[in-house]
Amino acid sequence: MDAADPEDDLRRLLNEWDPIGVADLVQDEYDCLITPLLDRLKREAGRTELREFLSHELTDHFGLDHPYDVDGMADRLTVWWTSTHPQI
């Protein structure tokens, strides 16, 4: 991944995760999550905060009854951010 464009990297990660199953049809479905997630990552939010944000968004914004693997995605985001964007 190119550290120069964290938005594109994050979009790719969100589309790979694809909790509502539409990434094959629509590439920008999760764009509403990019800025809030980057803001949290830049201020070094932990896995718990990321998990809570993702869970809230999936249930309240996307209407899912049971958020899809938010723990795994919070872990993946944390690892991605600390390994590829440590100086942002």
Query: In angstroms, rounded to a whole number, what is the distance separating the alpha carbons of residues 18 and 76?
Result: 13
Is residue 53 domain-resident? yes
Domain presence at residue 52: yes
- How many domains does the chain divide into? 1
Residue 58 counted as domain residue: yes
Candidates 81, 7, 4; CA nearest to 44 is 81
| pLDDT score at 86 | 61
Residue 83 pLDDT > 80, yes or no? Answer: yes
Kindly report the pTM of this predicted structure. Answer: 0.87
Which residue type, as a one-letter code, is found at position 67?
Answer: P
Does the pLDDT of residue 79 top 50, yes or no?
yes
% of residues, the chain, pLDDT over 70: 90
Mean pLDDT, rounded, for 2-26: 88
Residue 30 belongs to what domain range? Answer: 6-84
**Cα–Cα distance for residue pair 84/61, rounded to 1 Å:** 28
Task: Kindly state whether residue 28 falls inside one of the protein's structural domains.
Answer: yes
Query: What is the rounded CA–CA span in Å between residue 55 and residue 63?
Result: 11
Residue 1 in domain: no
